[in-house]
Chains A and B, each alone.
Chain A
């Protein structure tokens, strides 16, 4: 098991990113039972927002100075698109058949992707994203990129902030109430519309942070990056138990680790040589998803809910 600690770190870093995006899926699903397929594109737009902020700054600005501004800009773009999507695309369909908003979400996802492709200058090809200068950092024999350290700090901070928000604040508790029973929550005087918007906004803000981390890690953003990332995050949300915010993070980590381990070691397993390449990592990730859905359909941390037929 050559290089195991490093491969674990690779998996955790990738998983933390999936997890951050997955929170947006899971929160929205938990409250309105909608799989917001445009969430991947909200993530992608965050990346382009951060890039725009960077391009506006004068040449030679240090990334350390620029980063807060880039994060802010990414969050603004993502949250605006998230709230706009809720208001214009999903709210008119609320109460309708469940399939309608799902199809709208897919349409919105393609529309947002194509909008960036068509109107963002130079977005028809991958755009390069600023990165921290200086080489990798060695921590206990593990080589880490500076951009990855950003993610390793940001992901737990976001989780703690979210946990505190949900359990300690009024809005957070209202959110829990709405997710349990929207009608009763409304009778208790909770403005459920506002809660739903908040869920969309928080999910979008987290996706924006993930997008900045994605840009710093890979050094590029592209109009297509939301699709695969969104699909992976959706998988992470289902793995962890869709609707459960801690599950989203755990699902992300499990997925990231599976991908890293499959790429690194699957070819060492006897009889598996031909399935060992990096090209197979998605296959193993989805095999895992199928296994979880077969044996624990509610996901790792999900609770079994009675089916409302």
Chain B
């Protein structure tokens, strides 16, 4: 039976090839530094290539800007900061490898990133065991800081090294539900998610709040994040009498989804979280994105006085790509690490403790007390490592741009 065994073999090899091609990252770390100054490396992990690279590059550039600013102003005397960026391509496994690399590099005293919650989940264990502090600008899954049983009210912080400057989906989904139900008066939802940590979490918190308010979820469905064919689901949406679609997922699937839903003939908006709040969403879905809504953490940077200088400096630095949804948070995350290093250096008579493990531990502890006026407002962390700044905004796509329509703080 050579014929059949060849088929089986082929299928096996294909699966292997799929797994292999998903890996692979670029390492651009390098040594060097001034002789009389200590070099503190801040590691950065984000998807620098692939579908989500627009967001990832914005994170990297903004962190780079924070590091350059700190060096220019001599924010910490006797310390030169250096950014080492690694690419996780949105893959949890690659993120974990990168975390291991950071742990192994004795010059790394803090890590900024990642973008994706599922990547954050795999990284925090590695970094937690090494006492290496991590500040994510974009992870929004609540269990990362509040433990797996947060929904039942049993909040427990899994890793003392994990912090984030973005607020969580525990408020983002409900915030969208309140806006859609109370202000747009839409009562019937079709909920779709992509089964990832972020998307499924967002969809479930949305559903809970929306039904609590009195809204009705007429149907639910899920998709694969790498799918681009949603014709069958689009037809289902059209034939349901839903007023809008809530999508828990990211823009690479979200853009074709909204496109195909409106092409199928359903003239209803798609509402989603911060992963739809990207220029790429609009440029992929073109006119079909008009009227769609996205919530995002924080207030629109354009309206904050604290962000004006960041935006000016970002422009002046001449980065090729925009800072995107998480630029301000990434700058603040990096700045938080710089502040923690500063606190430790000041405690230790102007230098870092000689022992790496000791220094990392002290920096992690110092992070709990970090507080400063950042790009996105007041930056500080609560007992779970979550940001104390719980502002959120709703954006609507109008004439090919995300226009802020509401900013506020979530209230139960």
Contact = CB atoms under 8 A, between A and B. Distances in A.
Interface string A10-45: 110110000000000000000000010100000000
A307 interface: yes
Given A128-B284, A220-B284, A225-B228, A231 B235 contact: no
A228 B49 contact: no
B256 A35 contact: no
B17 A110 contact: yes
A219 B239 contact: no
Given A218-B256, A279-B224, A98 B6 contact: yes
B250 to A, nearest CB: 12
- The B interface, classified by DSSP as helix, strand, loop or mixed, is helix
Contacts of A3: 235-236, 238-239
A238 B14 CA distance: 15
A51 B256 CA distance: 18
Interface string B1-29: 11110110110011001100100000000
A106 B17 contact: yes
Contacts of B280: 125
B407 interface: no
Contacts of A219: 256, 259, 284, 286
Contacts of A78: none
Contacts of A106: 13-14, 17
A263 interface: yes
A278 B233 contact: yes
B231 A14 contact: yes
A112 to B, nearest CB: 12
B54 A125 contact: yes
Interface in A195-234: 218-220, 222, 224-225, 227-228, 231
Interface string B376-404: 00000000000000000000000000000
A10 B231 contact: yes
Contacts of B284: 126, 128, 219-220
A263 B232 contact: yes
Contacts of A102: 6, 9-10, 13
Contacts of A136: 263-265
Q: Give the interface size class of chain A.
A: 35 or more
Given A35-B10, A125-B54, A293-B7, A113 B229 contact: no
Contacts of A282: 224
A284 B248 CA distance: 23
Contacts of B6: 35, 98, 102
Which of B221, B222, B228 has the most C-beta atoms of chain A within 10 angstroms of its own C-beta? B228
B252 to A, nearest CB: 7
A7 interface: yes
Interface in A72-112: 98-99, 102-103, 106, 109-110
A308 B2 contact: yes
Nearest to B280: A125
A248 to B, nearest CB: 15
A279 B256 CA distance: 15
13 contacts: A7-B235, A10-B232, A99-B9, A110-B21, A124-B49, A136-B263, A136-B264, A220-B228, A227-B18, A231-B14, A279-B223, A293-B7, A307-B1
Interchain residue pairs A-B with the least CB separation, the first 8:
A263-B232, A277-B222, A3-B239, A10-B231, A279-B222, A260-B232, A278-B223, A6-B235
Interface of A: 2-3, 6-7, 10-11, 13-14, 35, 37, 98-99, 102-103, 106, 109-110, 113, 124-126, 128, 135-136, 143, 145, 218-220, 222, 224-225, 227-228, 231, 238, 259-260, 263-264, 267, 276-279, 281-282, 293, 297, 305, 307-309
Given A3-B238, A278-B224, A293-B7, 15 more contacts: A3-B236, A7-B235, A10-B235, A14-B229, A106-B13, A218-B229, A228-B226, A259-B232, A267-B221, A278-B192, A278-B232, A279-B194, A279-B223, A307-B2, A309-B2
